[in-house]
């Protein structure tokens, strides 16, 4: 029934390739089916003004899409002179999600910027960005710990995200673009490795949804995040 032939609770193939650029303190290419996102973590020994002399660190994120990551070419945001509302919404979500999984006191007064750039899009780019962004963050923190700059691991748990939706009347896991563009409801679930919630965003895009349907999406999301966390562990240990 799904365009891809997947079963309702079946994730796309996940692959995480680490250390794919030589400059960044942490990096990976995450592939969730045909959605490919390049994530890098950049470390700076300074924090935003509002955190100076608090002893706390900061994690922030930026998100972008290459112009031809999509089926038809989209205008380059650098050329149009501003980031769309969608881009800003997504990068704020990534930042909030990653901050929820780190002890900012333990990381010390430094900033890690996670850049998530979509190389190829097929639905679920923000979820892939969160899941891959966590890998880049993990690797950058590992480097800080290996160098002895941090003694206690500030990372509290894995952070991963998956989308669920109501497609053709059925709750399905990990929507690809053909599903996403037809789905009546679309949700993104960000969770920890322990299954705690970090962020839930569910939105009716055609038909409203009931509490039952929402509960089914939540259950699917738990399964999906658990698969993603397993892939994260395979990629970076732990």
The answer on whether 76 is annotated among ligand-binding residues is no
Structure tokens at 49: 């003004």
DSSP code, position 49 = G
Stretch in the footprint of a copy of itself (CB under 8 A) among 1-9, 67-75, 147-155, 227-235: 67-75
User: Rounded distance, CA 131 to CA 22, Å?
Assistant: 21
What contacts 78, CB < 8 A, 6 or more positions away?
none
Contact 96, 129 (CB under 8 A): no
- Other CB atoms within 10 Å distance of the CB of residue 181: 11
Strand runs labelled E in 10-127: 14-18, 26-32, 35-44, 58-65, 111-120
Strand partners of residue 63: 116
CA distances 118 to 34, 85, 89, 141, 159, Å, are 11, 17, 15, 23, 19
Tell which positions 193-212 bind a copy of itself, by CB under 8 A. 196-205, 208-211
Residue 151 or 211: the one with the smaller Cβ distance to a copy of itself is: 211
Q: How far is the CB of 21 from a copy of itself (least distance, A)?
A: 5
CA distances 218 to 9, 32, 65, 74, 229, Å, are 12, 20, 28, 32, 16
Q: How far is the CB of 161 from a copy of itself (least distance, A)?
A: 13
Stretch in the footprint of a copy of itself (CB under 8 A) among 2-10, 112-120, 123-131, 144-152: 112-120
Number of residues located near a copy of itself, criterion CB under 8 A:
59
Verify binding: residue 15, a copy of itself, rule CB under 8 A. no
Verify binding: residue 232, a copy of itself, rule CB under 8 A. no
Verify binding: residue 79, a copy of itself, rule CB under 8 A. yes
Place of tokens 């923000």: 126
Question: Looking at 11, 24, 98, 102, which residue binds a copy of itself (CB under 8 A)?
Answer: 24
The answer on whether 86 is annotated among ligand-binding residues is yes
Q: How far is the CB of 188 from a copy of itself (least distance, A)?
A: 10
Question: Looking at 9, 109, 117, 149, which residue binds a copy of itself (CB under 8 A)?
Answer: 117
Tell me which residues touch a copy of itself (CB under 8 A).
Answer: 21-24, 27, 34, 38, 40, 42, 44, 62, 64, 66-73, 76-79, 81-83, 85-89, 91-92, 96, 100, 113, 115, 117, 119-120, 187, 192, 196-205, 208-211, 214, 218
Q: List binding-site positions.
A: 86, 124-126
Q: List binding-site positions for phosphate.
A: 86, 124-126
């Amino acid at each position: 029934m799904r365009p891809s032939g997947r079963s309702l609770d079946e994730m796309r193939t996940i692959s995480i390739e680490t250390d794919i650029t030589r400059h960044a303190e942490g990096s990976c290419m995450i592939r969730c089916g045909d959605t490919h996102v390049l994530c890098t973590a950049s470390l700076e020994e300074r924090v935003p003004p509002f955190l100076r002399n608090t002893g706390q660190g900061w994690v922030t994120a930026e998100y972008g899409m290459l112009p031809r990551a999509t089926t038809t070419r989209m205008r380059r945001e650098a050329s149009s002179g501003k980031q769309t509302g969608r881009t800003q919404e997504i990068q704020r979500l990534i930042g909030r999600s990653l901050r929820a999984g780190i002890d900012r006191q333990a990381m010390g007064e430094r900033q890690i910027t996670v850049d998530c750039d979509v190389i190829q899009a097929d639905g679920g780019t923000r979820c892939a960005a969160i899941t891959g962004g966590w890998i880049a963050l993990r690797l950058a923190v590992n480097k800080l710990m290996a160098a002895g700059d941090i003694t206690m691991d500030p990372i509290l748990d894995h952070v991963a995200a998956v989308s669920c939706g109501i497609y053709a009347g059925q709750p399905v896991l990990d929507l690809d673009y053909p599903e996403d563009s037809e789905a009546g409801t679309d949700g993104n679930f960000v969770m920890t490795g322990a299954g705690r919630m970090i962020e839930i965003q569910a939105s009716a895009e055609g038909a409203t949804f009931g509490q039952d349907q929402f509960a089914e999406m939540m259950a699917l999301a738990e399964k999906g995040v658990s698969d993603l966390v397993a892939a994260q562990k395979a990629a970076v240990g732990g």
